[in-house]
Amino acid sequence: MSSRRRFLQHASTIGLAYSANTLFGRLLSAQTGSSAANQPVRVFIDSRRAIAPIDRNLFGSFLEHLGRAIYEGIYDPGSKLSDSNGFRKDVLQEIRQLGVPIIRYPGGNFVSGYDWLDGVGPKQDRPRVLDKAWNSMNSNQFGTNEYMAWCKAASTEPLMGLNLGTGTPEQAAALVEYCNVDKGTKWSDMRRKHGFTEPYAVKHWCLGNEMDGPWQIGHMTATEYGIKAQDAARQMRYVDHSVELIACGSSGPLMPTYLEWDREVLEQCYDYVDGLSLHRYFGNTTEEAGGDSSKFLALNLTMDRQIAESLAVCDLVRGHKRSPKKLWLSFDEWNVWYRQRNGDAVDGHRKEAPHLLEEIYNFEDALLVGGLVNTLLRNADRVKIACLAQLVNVIAPIMTNKSGLFRQTIYYPYSWGLQFARGRVLNVQVESPTYDVKGMDAVPYIDAVATASDDGKTSLFILNRDLSKAHAVEVVWEDQAGSRVLASQVLTGDDLKAVNGFDGERVKPQPFDKPTTSNGRTKFEVPAHSYTVIQWGS
């Protein structure tokens, strides 16, 4: 038994509520094993005990020039479902309804070989280019100006990715000038000549993509990248000092250079950037979850750990630099992705809009995505941007064909984060029985997070990881109890492998019996393997 698990079990017997996060030095909400197996789970909520305000950008998303994300996804000029700009109206409506606040574009691996000049100017003059990252053809009929127009139509903000693979810092600064300067300079006048008078005021920019990955076009060492990112940042700020810049952190904890990459990069560019990026994809594979769904559903705790470790590096470098500035994190790619990862699923065979990474999500994937929503929320003090990767057709919650779209299972937990997580995240204390997972510390069956808004709405998000048993939950209101239930829904079902498709949605929210509150306590039961949201008004 690991010493950490011994510590948790000792804490449980004496009724303490310490969290995994506390042990990483992060004093965030406590998810702990502090009730006996037959006791109800208890969730202590005090609206005065907050972790941080929620930045709306915590539930952003991502659209890459990859497969059918752009072409046939959001842009399909030949379709009867499109408007006069060629934008799919049904997809736009879905994204507006979700309320996605920020969307990263144009990549991803794609961006590291992309010349943004190929995608601007008269459409008939734009070249058809081989995208080497996905071995696909890009007609360039959709580029920067089309994306800005689409963002406006979708009521979202762009998070622009820059090519720091084959691209130079000078080209990155030129794109900032093209987008953000009003007039009177080479690149701003070019935008005007292209027919776009108003500058776009793009605030957030990613300095490259996954530059630590040997698969990345232009991959380099951490120090080389750190110097290049610093130069790009300086040139971009000469053009527009108001931009917020994100340096490439490690692509994930499995990278051999994990954390050391981040440290070396930040030693070069800490003073020039505002945030550090993290990426992570989870899989229900033998290697990652041992083919065991109860382990799979615990994997969001490894995202908590990745966040804590990345912050430790940011703050280490901050110490080295004696800097007053604290970096925030941009978790700008996260999702479940493990089926469509090889062979034809990642090779476009030099076609336009090939079917790539078209992962079909099942019910247990949605449950883990619920857990990941919880993890992002309880780290909202330092994670300011996060992007579900991706949004349409490519490892996505929304899938299209010629005649319509359907919502994948993962759409729903993501939409709940967007709809119900408002205001600030509360530092809830959770007492839950735990279970053992090989290679992990004791895992609480119940993972719970709560938020509270200034207009008196409290929302509670509960993942029950127990595959066989429902759990009784008692919410202990330590100040004012939520009185009126405004919403209560659950994602549940018998079949963990159930999927949605054009033939029907088998996995979607169901009404959850409105729980009642008396004497400052609310009692209810969450079904086995389920994700539940309850919102109360004051």
Which residues are near ligand AHR by CB under 6 A? 64, 107-109, 209-210, 333, 389-390
- Smallest distance from ligand AHR to CB 17, Å: 37
Q: Based on CB atoms, which residue is closest to ligand AHR, 343 or 439?
A: 343
Q: Are the CB atoms for 505 and 73 separated by under 8 Å?
A: no
- Smallest distance from ligand AHR to CB 95, Å: 18
Q: Which amino acid appears at position 512 of this protein?
A: F
- Smallest distance from ligand AHR to CB 131, Å: 11
Task: Return d(Cα 332, Cα 341) in angstroms, integer.
Answer: 19
Task: Return d(Cα 29, Cα 377) in angstroms, integer.
Answer: 10
352 among known catalytic residues: no
Reference 390, options 153, 98, 55, 104; nearest CA is 104
- Smallest distance from ligand AHR to CB 197, Å: 33
3 state SS of 403 = coil
Q: Based on CB atoms, which residue is closest to ligand AHR, 393 or 434?
A: 393
Give the list of residues 6+ apart from residue 255 with CB closer than 8 angstroms, or none: 212, 213, 261
Task: Return d(Cα 52, Cα 502) in angstroms, integer.
Answer: 40
- Smallest distance from ligand AHR to CB 217, Å: 11
Residue 36 CB burial class (10 angstroms; 0-12, 13-18, ≥19): exposed
Q: Which of 157, 210, 359, 364 is catalytic?
A: 210
Task: Return d(Cα 282, Cα 304) in angstroms, integer.
Answer: 13
CA distances from 324 to 33, 203, 231, 271, 282 (A): 37, 22, 21, 10, 35
Task: Return d(Cα 444, Cα 19) in angstroms, integer.
Answer: 10
Q: Based on CB atoms, which residue is closest to ligand AHR, 391 or 475?
A: 391
Q: Based on CB atoms, which residue is closest to ligand AHR, 210 or 304?
A: 210
Of all residues in the shown chain, the one whose CB is closest to ligand AHR is 108
Task: Return d(Cα 148, Cα 154) in angstroms, integer.
Answer: 10
Q: Based on CB atoms, which residue is closest to ligand AHR, 64 or 304?
A: 64
- Smallest distance from ligand AHR to CB 63, Å: 10
Q: For 214-275, give the secondary structure using H, E and C.
A: CCCCCCCCHHHHHHHHHHHHHHHHHHCCCCEEEECCCCCCCCCCCCHHHHHHHHHHHHHCCE
- Smallest distance from ligand AHR to CB 133, Å: 7
Q: Based on CB atoms, which residue is closest to ligand AHR, 131 or 240?
A: 131
Q: Are the CB atoms for 60 and 204 separated by under 8 Å?
A: no
Q: Are the CB atoms for 158 and 211 separated by under 8 Å?
A: no
Q: Are the CB atoms for 449 and 413 separated by under 8 Å?
A: no
Side-chain-side CA neighbours of residue 442 (13 Å): 26
Q: Based on CB atoms, which residue is closest to ligand AHR, 69 or 449?
A: 69
Beta bridge partners of 410: none
Q: Are the CB atoms for 71 and 360 separated by under 8 Å?
A: no
* Pairing of the two strands 275-282 and 328-336: parallel
Q: Based on CB atoms, which residue is closest to ligand AHR, 340 or 489?
A: 340
3 state SS of 470 = coil
- Smallest distance from ligand AHR to CB 305, Å: 20
Task: Return d(Cα 167, Cα 164) in angstroms, integer.
Answer: 5
333 among known catalytic residues: yes
Q: Which of 333, 359, 364, 431 is catalytic?
A: 333
Q: Which residues are catalytic?
A: 210, 333
